[in-house]
Amino acid sequence: MKAFAAALYMAMAQAELMHKVDYDFMRYVSTHNKMYGTVEEFELRKETFARADAWIRNVNSNPESTYTAGHNRFSDMTEDEKRVLFALKDLPKPPVDDLEYVVDDEEPNALPTSWDWRTQGAVTPVKDQGQCGSCWAFSSIEAIESAWIIKGNSMTIMSEQELVDCSSSTGNQGCNGGWYFWSYEWLANNYTMTEADYPYTSGTTGTETACAYNASKGVTKVASYGRTLGTSKNLTRIQQQPVNVAVAAGNNVFMYYTGGIITTTSGCPTSIDHAIVAVGWGVDNGTQYYIVRNSWGTDWGENGYVRIQTSGGVGVCGINQYVYYPTL
Residues with active-site annotation? 135, 274, 294
Question: Is beta strand 257-262 parallel, antiparallel or unpaired with respect to 305-309?
Answer: parallel
Distances (CA, A) of 88 to 69, 77, 273, 317: 24, 19, 4, 14
**Among 7, 25, 5, 6, CA closest to 17:** 25
Tell me how far apart the alpha carbons of residues 309 and 325 are, in angstroms, rounded to a whole number. Answer: 20
Burial of 191 (0-12, 13-18, 19+ CB in 10 A): middle
CB atoms near residue 31 (< 10 Å): 12
**Per-residue b or e along 1-20, where b marks 16 or more CB atoms closer than 10 Å to that residue's CB:** eeeeeeeeeeeeeeeeeeee
SS3 content of the chain, % helix, strand, coil (to 5): 35, 20, 45
Residue partners of 145: CB distance under 8 A and separation at least 6 = 123, 124, 155, 156, 157, 158
Tell me how far apart the alpha carbons of residues 255 and 145 are, in angstroms, rounded to a whole number. Answer: 25
Adjacent-strand bridge partners of 257: 69
Local structure of 257: helix, strand or coil: strand
The secondary structure of 73-123 as a DSSP string is TTTT--HHHHHTT-TTTTS----TT-TTSEE--PPPPPPPS-EEGGGGT-S
Residue partners of 3: CB distance under 8 A and separation at least 6 = none
Backbone angles phi, psi at 278, to 5 degrees: -90, 125
Adjacent-strand bridge partners of 75: none
On whether the CB atoms of residues 101 and 181 are closer than 8 A, the answer is: yes
